[in-house]
Amino acid sequence: MGLICAVIFQRQGRLYYADPGSLTPAVGDQVLYPTEEGAEVAEVVWAPQWVSEDVGGLPVLAGMAGSEDVERAEASRKKRAAARVAARKLIREHELPMKVSGVDYVHDANRTTIYFTAPHRVDFRALVRDLSATLHGRVELRQLSARDEARLTGGIGSCGRELCCSTFLVDFEPVSVRMAKDQDLPLNPLRISGACGRLMCCLKYEHPLYQDFAEKAPAVGEGVDTPDGEGTVVGHSVPSESVVVRLSADGRRSVCALASVCSARKAYETRESDGAVH
């Protein structure tokens, strides 16, 4: 058991989970969330509640945000907006093939970090000098990959929901075309690519279920015995744990639960017994 709450740093932004400690903030309250650069103001979107899972290791809220903290956060927001405008203007003047994707500002260190995308490596040393003089502080530029840009800018996926990478995904796990093939998805890039232009992260979510099903189910074209009679497997339905069988007697198609298809059960039992022997 553990106590947990969730906060966001900007509207429609990614959720960050925390241990509320001794605090009892309500939804909409401003709190101080610990980061590597110090405590930052965040808004509570999920009030503290007990969960059954072990949630040890979460950052502990540093306290409720006061008026000075909120004013500093507003000043940082204005600084980020000014930095974005200045960066776009100077990029045009330097004629660099860059696109600004996001801006971060650390108030205590007076440091601005500008995230950008570009088709190749860019020499931006002159740009950094001009930005530092314009913004009167330290400036860093960091080039992002296509996936990182989608995470930072956010958006809506083909499912109609907000992008996984900008809401709850912490790390990008490898995704391959094989996962789409195993799930019988069309290999049309427009159908299996996300907003970043890469393979959708969600292809990995259900892939283990399809792998497990493939190990137990009879292959398409295999003869099987079902409660409706003998037939040939012509299709699979992984979500319902069933197979589609064309009956030999009348050619009718029958949807049978995987457990009721004898050849699949026998093959599964054989594999299990072999595994136990080894």
154-175: per-residue pLDDT in tens? 788 888 888 888 877 877 888 9
Distance CA 241, CA 258 (A): 6
Amino acid at 218: P
Do 138 and 111 contact (CB within 8 A), yes or no?
Answer: yes
- Local structure of 62: helix, strand or coil: coil
What would the pLDDT profile of 180-195 be if each residue is shown by its tens digit? 998 988 888 888 998 8
For residues 58, 165, 41, 47, the Cα torsion angle rounded to the nearest 10 degrees is -60
Whether residue 227 is predicted with pLDDT greater than 60 in this model: the reply is yes
For 239, the token pair is 């979500």
* Structural domains of the chain, with CATH: 2-65 (no CATH), 71-144 (3.30.300.20), 149-204 (no CATH), 216-277 (2.30.30)
Query: What is the pLDDT, as a whole number, of residue 12?
Result: 65
- Local structure of 115: helix, strand or coil: strand
Query: What is the pLDDT, as a whole number, of residue 269?
Result: 53
Contacts within 8 Å (CB) and 24+ apart, 240-245:
241/213, 243/217, 243/218
Do 103 and 84 contact (CB within 8 A), yes or no?
Answer: yes
Amino acid at 144: L
- Percent of the chain scoring above 70 in pLDDT: 92
Side-chain-side CA neighbours of residue 247 (13 Å): 11
Which strands form 111-117's sheet, in the order they lie side by side?
99-106, 111-117, 138-143
Specify the residue for token string 């907000």. Answer: 162
Whether residue 210 is predicted with pLDDT greater than 80 in this model: the reply is yes
Q: Which residues of 44-83 are buried (b: 16+ CB within 10 A; e: fewer)?
A: beeebeeeeeeeeeeeebbeebeeebeebbeebeebbeeb
Whether residue 35 is predicted with pLDDT greater than 90 in this model: the reply is no
Whether residue 113 is predicted with pLDDT greater than 90 in this model: the reply is yes
Query: What is the pLDDT, as a whole number, of residue 154?
Result: 79
Predicted model pTM: 0.64
Query: What is the pLDDT, as a whole number, of residue 252?
Result: 86
